Amino acid sequence: MKFIRLFLLFAFVAVFRLIGLVLNLLSPRATARHLPDTLRLYRRTPDGTEFLWFYEIGEQLFVDAGMLGKNATRASFAIEHWPAIKEHIRVMREKGFEEIATDAMQFLQITYHIRGDFAEKDELDKRNALLDKLDEFLALTGQGYWVDASSGSGTMELGFEVVDFDIAETTLREQLKGSEYDNFLTITPNQPQLEGDDKEIVYLPA
């Protein structure tokens, strides 16, 4: 009887594992993606830096094209057009577009005053809303992306990796001017906060 119960137990475990495997295979998350991460390509010209961003959302492929710091022209394509997009990427690489190495990106930090030593809930909510706003703006203008945020010692900071600090600073100041977020203290090329500093730090998920 004990042997039968053990046999049935192992049988049930095997069945559940099989069901889990089938569900994972059928899950959209398990579907092979052509662009699991945004592909960011740039080409420097006498008139400025051109950019091409390629990314995938659901069953759509998107291509953003423009000049660094200016709103991109955005086009979308059904997922089945991936072979044509892939060929377009190859041609653009041949024409001089290339990715910028992570260590060649420039860090930009926006600092705000907070009431206490560390940001309170309403201040964090405001910061998070601003992060969404600026991350979208930097993406639409081909400039970069959010990498970290911190608070402590009476200030809170938002950190971004950008292609060109001077262009990003100018366009971000314009974006913040006259808004509820224009009371920042500084926009500087500070390096990210290191572990051990007197800060509560939030990093961009890997």
Is the predicted pLDDT of residue 13 greater than 80, yes or no?
Answer: no
Query: What are the DSSP calls for 64-88, one per residue?
Result: EEEETTSPPEEEEEEGGGHHHHHHH
- Residues 30-76 pLDDT 10s: 353 799 899 999 999 999 999 999 999 999 999 999 999 999 999 99
- Statement: 105-203 belongs to CATH 3.30.70.260: yes
Name the helix (H) or strand (E) containing 16.
helix 2-26
* pTM recorded for the entire structure: 0.77
The alpha carbon of 124 is separated from its chain's Cα centroid by a whole number of angstroms, namely: 19
Query: What average pLDDT does the chain have?
Result: 83
How large is the average pLDDT for residues 80-85?
97
Name the token pair of 85. 């997009």
The candidate with the shortest Cα–Cα distance to 111, out of 175, 154, 77, 68, is: 154
Per-domain residue ranges of the chain? 39-94, 105-203
